[in-house]
Structure 1
């Protein structure tokens, strides 16, 4: 008996139903339900798990190599964009500074040319005295003949007796840029109204900077052309031979041309000159670079080396031409 009791005392095993400790089925059901519920009492289904990072897990995600790489890339992009904006602003400032410098240099050159020529912005060329006009023309002559001696210059300059004195009327205010020229032409043509116009003998010859400027002048003098026609004596309108033929057939009151073409026509004898003939130099007009007929090198040289030189000069001065400006 003693041995049987000891044997029962040492018997083990959780599945032994003979020990009187059977599990309550209600307890098992309650435990299953309570063990899978969250803190709010909501039951979490099998296979579900709260995906929110646990405490400390968020810091680990932010410190991960992928997150740090993305953050660094964003920062580098922002820095690059900021640098590009700074570079753009810097380039714009440099361009603006360069433009302003260029404009100042242009103004400086324009003022320098004006000081050399003796023509200021408020000067009215039509009313220049013969002394002032002579000095202005002399400056231009010296630029075409920089190495000429005083004796040589005396043979090139226009004599005072061939310069047209200023008119005795005062200028009228007008928005028309050709108003001074129109008024000057009227004052020149009025004493010639009773005189017969001779073929090939223009009463007024106007020399302008370019063919384009000549075309503008032609439009500006049409209303005061007198009894004859307005001749276009520049290269873009007619060939030289055609212009010679035209002058041999038409009565011309006003001829408008460039120094190069008029010089050739004078050399060819196509233009006749008398003491009634007036030549007006368009010295007041400036092109986009503030150059005039007296200081644009190629045109200035044509004026002094073609119109007022050789046979052309002889034709003009021996004919008794009078020279003015506008």
Structure 2
């Protein structure tokens, strides 16, 4: 009984060849192959390196030596470059539009003022000059009635007739200016110059333009000096003192300063005095002494108004253009 019980007892340990069990040879062969495969993992990787690329992979490998991360960076740079080009095109389009608008406004101002690129200010007839000045006056006095305008406009008798010589084209920007002043000063050569009584007064757009005109007229200054009557050169008191002491043949100034000097009585006017308006000069925005608002208003509300106007017209001044 004891022996029978022992025979029925099962062993729970591992494989034991002594228990009478025999292993399947096929099972052993399969296990050996799996072990060889696991132990030769490195060899398998080496074999993978020697694999022949599939069709289509050869071109990808040959033409894509750049890592994927670098490819993305290059694509981002190219995209930024395209964006920069697009912004540059927009900026250029905006600039061209602005230039066209600027030209349009300039042409509109020229058409409205009556001064075009073909206009020669020095040779304007008294009627044409009067019409041009009237346009400027209306801009300074937009609500003025016709009766009020008649009191502001310059009488025809005080406008300077055009010169006898024909207009000449010259590369010298001050050629026509010099010729015009010479024609005015020549008949006055034998007349005595009086202190504080300029023979020619030139009104220009700005102090910078005045400085250029002064350099342009030095060679034809006549028997007197060339006075600089604009704010950046002298204080008003200094200019009054200067005019009281010096004989001046040509005075160059801005409407604001000359208007104050006229009001102060520092400038004397006679029937031989000529006042020239530098209407031919345009600034970078094609504005002139007749349509740049602050300068235009000084011209009509300071020089040709009040005591200054009385001094000019009662003295018999003649007004022309450059």
TM range (shorter): 0.7 to 0.9
1:140 matches 2:136? yes
Match of 2:219 among 210, 215, 223: 223
1:192 matches 2:175? no
Number of the residue aligned with 2:259: 263
Number of the residue aligned with 1:163: 159
Structure 2 portions without partners, runs of 5+: 1-42, 58-65
Shift of 1:86: 1.5
Number of the residue aligned with 2:3: none
Number of the residue aligned with 1:5: none
**What does 1:54-133 correspond to in 2, within 5 Å?**
54-56=49-51, 72-133=68-129
1:286 matches 2:288? no
**TM-score normalised by the chain length of structure 2:** 0.80
**What does 1:10-29 correspond to in 2, within 5 Å?**
none
Shift of 1:50: 10
Partner SS for 1:120: coil
Number of the residue aligned with 1:34: none
Match of 2:236 among 237, 240, 250: 240
Shift of 1:71: 5.2
1:320 matches 2:319? no
Rounded to whole Å, the distance in 1 between the matches of 2:104 and 2:176 is 28
Match of 1:299 among 295, 300, 304: 295
Partner SS for 2:171: coil
Rounded to whole Å, the distance in 1 between the matches of 2:47 and 2:136 is 92
Rounded to whole Å, the distance in 1 between the matches of 2:223 and 2:231 is 25
Shift of 1:276: 0.3
Shift of 1:88: 1.2
Partner SS for 1:107: helix
Shift of 1:283: 0.1
Structural RMSD (CA): 2.1
Rounded to whole Å, the distance in 2 between the matches of 1:194 and 1:81 is 80
Rounded to whole Å, the distance in 1 between the matches of 2:47 and 2:78 is 37
Moved more, 305-314 or 72-81: 72-81
Rounded to whole Å, the distance in 1 between the matches of 2:319 and 2:177 is 14
1:201 matches 2:197? yes
1:248-297 deviations in Å (ceiling 9; x for gaps): 01100000000000000000000000000000000000011111000100
Closer/same/farther in 2, CA of residues 52 and 88 from structure 1, 3 Å limit: farther
Rounded to whole Å, the distance in 1 between the matches of 2:109 and 2:174 is 23
Partner SS for 1:280: strand
Aligned residues: 271
Rounded to whole Å, the distance in 2 between the matches of 1:52 and 1:106 is 76
Rounded to whole Å, the distance in 2 between the matches of 1:52 and 1:154 is 109
Number of the residue aligned with 2:206: 210
Match of 2:246 among 238, 242, 250: 250
Shift of 1:210: 0.5
